[in-house]
Amino acid sequence: MLVKTEDLGFAYNRRNQVLDQLNIELPAGRIAGLLGANGTGKSTLMQILAGVLFPSRGNLEVVDHSPSARRPEFLRNIYFLPEETYLPNTTGDSYVRMFAPFYPNFDRQLFVDVLARLEVRHPLRLSDYSFGQKKKFQIAFAIATRAQLLIMDEPTNGLDIPSKEQFRQLLLETTGDEQGVIISTHQARDLEGVIDTVMLLDSQGLVVRTLNELNDCLSVGTYAEPPEDTLYKRQSVNQWQCITQHRDDCEADIDLELLFNAFHTNRTNFLKQI
Amino acid sequence: MINLQRSLLLFQVKYDLGHSRFSRNLALLLGFNLILSYMWFNYIDNDFAWIAICLNAAVTIGGEYLFFSDLKQKSSLVHSLMVPASITEKFTVEWLNSMLLLPFLALLPPALAYAAMNLAVFDGNVPHLTSAQVWLQLKWYWVVQPLLFFGAVYFRKFVFFKTWGSVILLGLVTFGVLMGMWHLVFEHAMFDPRIHFTDGQPVLPAWLLIIYFGFFWGLSFICYREVEAG
């Protein structure tokens, strides 16, 4: 298991319990999308997995290590890309020269290739980059570390539309069977076609399912009138897009936005269905 | 344990990222010290005491800025915590930097300014610095270092003011409590809180110094190990 948690909890203080009794098992080879409303603790969970925050209770193992010990063997096997990027005032080349040696599997050619695909001008000083370019630079570095687990908090924030597509492609192409990725986002559509596992987080807990499991229980279809077993519906021109119980006649892939809204607005029935 | 190769890499990162800021500070200090040297040689006694003041002010203010500078912002803190090196290695690099490299580098501007002013303006008529004078300044710095080092980890921001503010506050409270206890026990006897000095240096027993250094360095390490991004 790349990530294993048992009854994980986190509170900033007695009155502010953010996460409670989270149980996660994420094997290698998965690309998981962490979806949740604002303030449900997505970033907090990612920071705990990366070891920059300590859990208040529960057990946690990430790439066979306890993250809070912050051992080098752990840190070189994960890469955490926070929402708020930080790049020191230096050039891209010197950044790589300084930090790549800490990662034994760092692939310089891959780094250059990813930068080229994301259209980042490499020789510039990092402080001269725009927000989006900084994100792209860090995505390239993260992928090139070949770390076992990539934890990315809102990686598509600030990326232009072509870059979002490149990002999706890059993840699919470069994630090996021994690796895993956890991506959080507010924009579920950014992850469509990339993730194979969904982690749905709200104030009451976390639900982790593969898309295959969800496809076996749920269906997405377009209807003139919403069926009775609709978990969540969205109106478009003269029709309804609905997420319902599984139907053999519906072959459409799960729509992540509909899925999340079904979980968010109709939690009890949603959980019964899955 | 400490991996030497990783520690050297951390040193390289620290100086690759910090050298431009540090060089700029050194240049500023050099200019500042040149002016002070001229004023001192012209108007005041040619003692080395002013260098002590300049050096300690420069190193303590500059030092607090340079110790654990990654901890001051959340984004740089996360970046620093995620660098694949152990807590001990990161701490040791900061400690060595603050104990050995920083004071020697910061001693350069006042010493250079003193020598340059002496030779260029006063034709070498002012006595040259002695190694004992320089050594004394370093010792003063090393006495202050554990406090600021701990302050840098504990407070993270506005370290200089918060640390010295706390020291003054704690000192006043301790002094008040001690004085109160003294009067309770000895009634009319005089309370003498002075530290006795010999050749300008406080006379403190070795065990007290070991406790002082060990306490603040140990506490700094514990605080650093517990640093979180929240």
Share the mean pLDDT of chain A. 91
Lowest mean pLDDT among A47-56, A171-180, B48-57, B63-72: B48-57
Report the residue from A72, A75, A85 with minimal CB separation from B75: A85
Query: Which one-letter DSSP state was computed for residue A214?
Result: H
Q: Which positions 85-144 of A are in contact with B (Cβ < 8 Å)? A: 85-86, 88-90, 94, 98-99, 101-103
Q: Do A84 and B16 touch (CB under 8 A)?
A: no
pLDDT at B189: 60
Residue B213 in any domain: the answer is yes
Look up the ipTM and state it. 0.92
**Residue A59 predicted with pLDDT over 90:** yes
Residue B65 in any domain: the answer is yes
Strand residue runs (E) in B177-218: 197-198, 201-202
pLDDT at B54: 64
CATH number for the domain running over A3-203: 3.40.50.300
Measured between CB atoms, does B162 come within 8 Å of chain A? Answer: no
Q: Write out pLDDT tens, residues B3-60.
A: 999 999 999 998 888 777 677 777 777 777 777 777 766 665 545 556 656 665 665 5
- Going from N- to C-terminal start, the domains of chain A cover 3-203, 212-273
CA distance A158 to A187: 12
Min distance B61 CA to chain A CA atoms (Å) = 22
The alpha-helical segments, DSSP class H, found in A51-204 are 72-75, 92-99, 108-117, 131-144, 161-174
pLDDT at B135: 78
Q: Do A102 and B6 touch (CB under 8 A)?
A: yes
Q: What is the DSSP string of A167-203?
A: HHHHHHHH--TT-EEEEEES-GGGGTTT-SEEEEEET
Residue B162 in any domain: the answer is no
Residue B67 in any domain: the answer is yes
Q: Write out pLDDT tens, residues B96-125.
A: 988 887 777 767 777 777 788 778 877 777
Report the residue from B75, B78, B83 with minimal CB separation from A102: B83
Residue B169 in any domain: the answer is no
Which chain B residues are closer than 8 Å to A99 by Cβ? Answer: 13, 83
Please name the residue of chain A whose CA is at the shortest distance from the CA of residue B11.
A98
Number of structural domains chain B divides into:
1
Q: Which domain holds residue B205?
A: 4-157+194-225
Does residue B142 or residue A69 have the better pLDDT?
A69
